[in-house]
Structure 1
Amino acid sequence: MVSEETLNATVKRMEKFSPDMARLIVEFPYGSLYARPGLDLKQRSLLTIAAMLASGAATQLDFHIKGALNVGLAPDEIVEAVMHCVSYAGFPKTLDAMFVVMKVFEEQGITYGEG
């Protein structure tokens, strides 16, 4: 799950525009979906990244990549999940997602693929 600080910033920004949407972005995914049994948080994070990538929601992807790191996914797991999507979502969406991964890793001080 994303850090409480990141979630709070997103919710506060949305509250100024639409309090109902701010409530829904917390209540539905985190109160209903993430609380369900059957998948752990790492699995849910990987599915979320894949769904965001496939739907072309790159502007929301950084939020969920940070969340995936927060629940303990390793950088290589995130990169592999994104790469796995190339044959299902196509190169343009996958490359857009990989650039978001690269940006988040850079912001977090995570080195990957240097060698």
Structure 2
Amino acid sequence: MSIRDERYEKGMDILRQIRGEQGIDQVQRFQNIHPAFEEMMMSFGYGEIWSRTELDHKQRALITLSSLVTQGIPEALRFHVHTAIHVGVTPKEILELVLHCAAYAGFPKSVAAFPVILEVFEEIGVDVEW
């Protein structure tokens, strides 16, 4: 097995851990669009980055959510809210993260993130009480 194949398989294992089979299905849909892109996401994004041990999966999920909120990328945010919940981030932690981002990235980006996050919470049956 080549190093490239090993990184890809490692990426598949990591994605399966942090998101389950649903995550695998969503990422692999890119095979039909652009196979090299899907391979790069799996090998680098998950096989190289998410597999590092200096941060745990919960920490990486929080960092990823912060980045996506501050960039204003709703579709990726949706995917990674599911991931965050899967690795143990609580709904209250996610909402607090969005509030925190408002101070550094601006209220419009946080305001835009809330409907996406609340929609995911509704999909998975999460009620948040303050």
- Give the length in aligned residue pairs: 114
Report the counterpart of residue 105 of structure 2 in structure 1: 89
Distance in 1 between residues matched to 2:21 and 2:112, nearest whole Å: 25
Match of 2:69 in 1: 53
- Unpaired runs of 5+ in structure 1? none
Query: Retained in 2: the 8 A contact 1:62–1:100?
Result: yes
Identity %: 37
| TM-score normalised per structure 1 | 0.91
Q: TM-score, normalised by structure 2?
A: 0.81
Q: Matched residues in 2 for 1:4 and 1:97: separation?
A: 24
1:47-73 superposed Cα distances (whole Å, 9 cap, x missing partner):
000001111111210100000000011
Superposed displacement of residue 12, structure 1:
2.8
Unmatched segments (≥5 aa) in structure 2: 1-14
Higher relative contact order (CA 8 A, sep 6+): 1
Query: Which one-letter code corresponds to 1:71 in the other structure?
Result: V
Q: Deviations over 1:43-98 (max 9, x none)?
A: 11000000011111112101000000000111111111111000111111111111
Q: How does 1:98-113 map to 2 (within 5 A)?
A: 98-113=114-129
Higher helix share: 2
Structure with higher Rg: it is 2
What is the RMSD of the two structures over their aligned residues, measured on CA atoms?
1.4
State the AA in 2 paired with 1:87. A
